[in-house]
Chains A and B, each alone.
Chain A
Amino acid sequence: MPLQFSLPQQSFLLEEERTQIERAQQDPRFFAPLYERYHDAIFRYVYRRVDEEEQAYDITSSVFVKALQALHKYEYRGLPFSAWLFRIAKSELYQSFRDQKAQRTVSIDKVVLKQVIEDWTEDYTEQDKARLLLALKGLKEQQLQLIEMRFFEKRSFKEIGEICGLSENNAKVKTFRAVLKLKEFFHQKE
């Protein structure tokens, strides 16, 4: 679930968050408000990418333990704290795929899938759906991540960039290229 706030709210939250981070760096017990704020978003990010719910809870738990362990090294460099947590989540996820503890999964709403297909073809058929799924499987992992975040999770390019360690423009360009690749695979399978 993307976290979205209005601008004045955002600057107030950022200020408040920085104070909370500083307190948590002194004493991990003060990490609680940050945990409460981001736990749900991190859990859902992980849950949509693994096949089992229990795995998602385990990975989420290790994300927060890792975050607490590395908190003393955290420095505010213009990136929101959530981006730092998402990056840890991403690294924990890929570690569990490498260890074969979890299976790489893409969770898609049928309505969203239909919208994507309708942008490319005049009418949506079950065959188109199968073709798009095949095309998704043909993408490289980074391209799949970008498509997943932009279209299936409706994240902004700014947020995608923050999670992937790219600038907003670079995220836009790379997502555009990933879409082109997906379209190419989609039309190849006709």
Chain B
Amino acid sequence: MLQILFDRKEPSSYEVREHQNFQEILAAFNYQQKVNNPWRYWYYPVLTVCLLLLV
């Protein structure tokens, strides 16, 4: 359903900048990268096994 709004007040550029910044976006991106990494469940077990083998 289409909604039509008239003379809507838009937040100022300052408010937009205050509300959202690049560091938040970068943090979200880094988190996504971590979550999407297929090795994340294997990394520590594999590392532990390698260390044990070395020892």
> Which A residues contact B (CB, under 8 angstroms)?
28-29, 31-32, 35-36, 39-40, 43-44, 47-48, 51, 53, 57, 60-61, 64-65, 68-69, 103-110, 113, 133, 136-137, 144
Contact = CB atoms under 8 A, between A and B. Distances in A.
Interface of B is mostly: helix
Interface centre among B19, B22, B28, B32 (most CB of A within 10 A): B22
Interface residues of B, number: 24
Interface string B1-45: 111111110110100110110101110111011000000000000
A66 to B, nearest CB: 9
A20 B1 CA distance: 41
Contacts, number: 75
B25 A136 contact: no
A136 B22 contact: no
